[in-house]
C-alpha cells in the first residue's frame, strides 16, 4: 500500500500535462469499490476504478497469486488483502502502466515483477509524448 500511494502521489504531478495532451487517465485498484478512496490522503483529479475481481489484471497478463508467507507479511503491515478485495483469491497485479490509443492499441507498457519498482511521473509523461508522436506519425 505504501508503494502504491507513493506512486499515485508522484503520478498526480503529471496528470494535468497528460490530460492536456488529450489522454484520459485511469488508475485501477484491487480495492472493492466501497474502499477505493479510503486509503488516499488527498483529493485526486483522475479516475480511480476498482478491479477487485482482477479481471483487468488477468486480461493484461499481470495477475499473480500471493503465497501464504507474503500474505502473512502483508497482514503484519496492516494490509488485509481479503478485506480490501472482498475475496479469498489472494491475487494482486504486478504494478503496471499502459498507454492505449483511441483505437485500443497499446502504445506503451511498463511493468516490473518487483513491486517496489514503479515508473515515475517524468517517465510516464515521456512515454505519453512518445506514444502521441507515434500515433500522429511524426
Q: Residue 13 corresponds to which cell in the numbers above?
A: 504531478
DSSP track, 39-76: T-SS--SSEEEE-TT-HHHHHTT-EEEPPHHHHHHHHH
For residue 133, how many other CB atoms are within 10 A of its CB? 11
Q: What is the pLDDT of residue 1?
A: 57
Q: What is the pLDDT of residue 136?
A: 76
pLDDT in tens, the chain (138 residues): 566 767 777 777 888 898 888 888 888 989 999 888 776 666 667 788 999 999 999 999 999 999 999 999 989 988 899 999 999 999 999 999 999 888 888 889 999 888 888 888 899 999 999 988 887 776
Beta strands at 106-111 and 96-100: parallel, antiparallel or unpaired:
antiparallel
Structural domain span for residue 20: 2-136
Query: Cell 495477475, residue?
Result: 63
Total of domains in the chain: 1
Amino acid at each position: 500500500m505504501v508503494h502504491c500511494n507513493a506512486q499515485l502521489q508522484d503520478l498526480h504531478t503529471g496528470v494535468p500535462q497528460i490530460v492536456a495532451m488529450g489522454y484520459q487517465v485511469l488508475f485501477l485498484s484491487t480495492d472493492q469499490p466501497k474502499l477505493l478512496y479510503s486509503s488516499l490522503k488527498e483529493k485526486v483529479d483522475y479516475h480511480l476504478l476498482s478491479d477487485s475481481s482482477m479481471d483487468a489484471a488477468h486480461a493484461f497478463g499481470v495477475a499473480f497469486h500471493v503465497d501464504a508467507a507474503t500474505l502473512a507479511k502483508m497482514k503484519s503491515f496492516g494490509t488485509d488483502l481479503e478485506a480490501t478485495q472482498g475475496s479469498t483469491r489472494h491475487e494482486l497485479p504486478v504494478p503496471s502502466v499502459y498507454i492505449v490509443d483511441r483505437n485500443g492499441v497499446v502504445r506503451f507498457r511498463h511493468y516490473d515483477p518487483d513491486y517496489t519498482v514503479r515508473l515515475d511521473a517524468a517517465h510516464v509523461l515521456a512515454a505519453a509524448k512518445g506514444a502521441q508522436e507515434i500515433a500522429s506519425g511524426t
